[in-house]
Structure 1
């Protein structure tokens, strides 16, 4: 009777395993692949009830509101200029509450107001502004998101979703890192609701927003989605530890 030879097995990856790892570590593999952008669609979803003619008029009005903020020679406009723009956007939103871009631009203006605040002490006003800013981004995303994930979006809709998801992700990640640092001054103007979520929870929320921002076409968000993906980070840590042991001969 001849001896049976048992060859050492080699680790292998299934097609699905390879696809998962590719999605985790390759920023170009998964974001934007599930979104169909159709230039022939109306610029805004039909369920918002805004006709093409109304949209054009709203865009023109919105441009008149925000152009003074962009054309100023200062890095950050004067608070009175920003507040004037916020008030004008308040009025626009009251008249057209389903117009998502107005919420996104009001969030940008609110962020400018926050940047004008005194950084040396906690401010209830700053906490309120940050809460309103995040609320506006959430409303813009809710309004612009297609009713079904399989629905195609217009280029205007895709850009709005890419920008707002990325903006919110950046803020959530920044707050997450402030909480992780534990510096009392760093977290002085963070709303309690965000403190309750905690650093890791906020980073996971930021990672999801970066993923969605990348999915709708923002290239920076695609890269950040990979860097903040908790599974990618975990796998990366495992790989680094395995390489360390290999080098050290453990």
Structure 2
């Protein structure tokens, strides 16, 4: 009688790497990124002198401090900060942090307006970004995050990044990924008007799954630049990981039912 011994599964090194990347949030996000703490924060990439950069940093901090001095800043205070950031960007259009700060300030304005008009609603006001009334605001937020990412991303993947540069890229990609994921949830729930009618033009007509895939990509990049939360979210929203996870769950369910 011939004895048949089941062969052990054999994965190529490439297959193993793919599976590891799908399920292990720590496996690959930071690979290929060189962060040099000795590099100057921005002067090397924004074409701004060190003296002007110091003045710019102080002015930016002053603007943000006014928003942070109050737990619930007024619309007037927020609008004043937006006007100041507009002026700052007009004078220094290559300075990435000003764009991320303006994006966050616009979100704060939308949040404040929503809470004032819906005092009875204690739920998250992020959905308000995807209403027709906030279409211009959401477009500006995505534009600012995209511009910050474009300006801060090195021209070559082999180029080293400063610590501040890597942190901004991590935060900007994670911020955009979160908004894309929120847009996907809004699309799936269809509580608000369809995304074809609201939101940034680049999102109109996209399905919830397409939006979630875009979010997954941003989370992957956010994790690659060092954001730990983005690393976890990249795995959770990765369509291939989700598909493999669904297959494993189905196999386990059938096994349990078979035992019964």
Same fold (TM over 0.5): yes
1:249 aligned to 2:245? no
1:97 aligns with 2:97: no
Q: Give how far 1:72 is off.
A: 0.6
Q: Counterparts of 1:141-180 in structure 2 under 5 Å?
A: 141-180=149-188
Give the distance between the partners of 1:114 and 1:97, measured in 2 at CA. Answer: 24
Residues 26, 106 of structure 1: alpha-carbon distance in 2 compared, 3 angstrom cutoff: same
> Does the CA contact (< 8 Å) of 2:177 and 2:214 recur in 1?
yes
Inter-CA distance 191–157: structure 2 relative to 1 (3 Å threshold): closer
CA contact (8 A) 2:21 2:27 kept: yes
Q: Is 1:228 aligned to residue 224 of structure 2? A: no
Listed one character per residue, the Cα deviations across residues 192-223 of structure 1 (whole Å, up to 9, x for unaligned) are: 54231221111111101111111111111111
- Write the mapping of 1:76-225 to structure 2, written as runs, cut at 5 A: 77-118=73-114, 124-184=132-192, 190-191=199-200, 193-225=202-234
The runs of 5 or more residues in structure 2 that have no matched partner are 119-127
State TM-score, norm by structure 1.
Answer: 0.91
Partner Cα separation in structure 2 for residue 164 and residue 184 of structure 1:
26
- CA shift at 1:4, angstroms? 5.7
Q: Please, what is the CA RMSD of the aligned residues? A: 2.2
Instruction: Please list the CA deviations of residues 214-248 of structure 1 after superposition, one character each: whole Å capped at 9, or x if unmatched.
Output: 11111111111111111110110111111111212
Task: Call closer, same or farther: CA 1:129–1:148 in 2, change over 3 Å.
Answer: same
Check whether the contact 2:89–2:95 (CA below 8 A) recurs between aligned residues: yes
| 1:107-146 CA-partner distances (Å, limit 9, x unpaired) | 0100011112346798655110110011000000000000
Aligned residues: 246
Q: What SS does structure 2 have at the residue aligned with 1:29?
A: coil
Cα gap change, 1:45/1:237 in structure 2, threshold over 3 Å: closer, same or farther?
farther
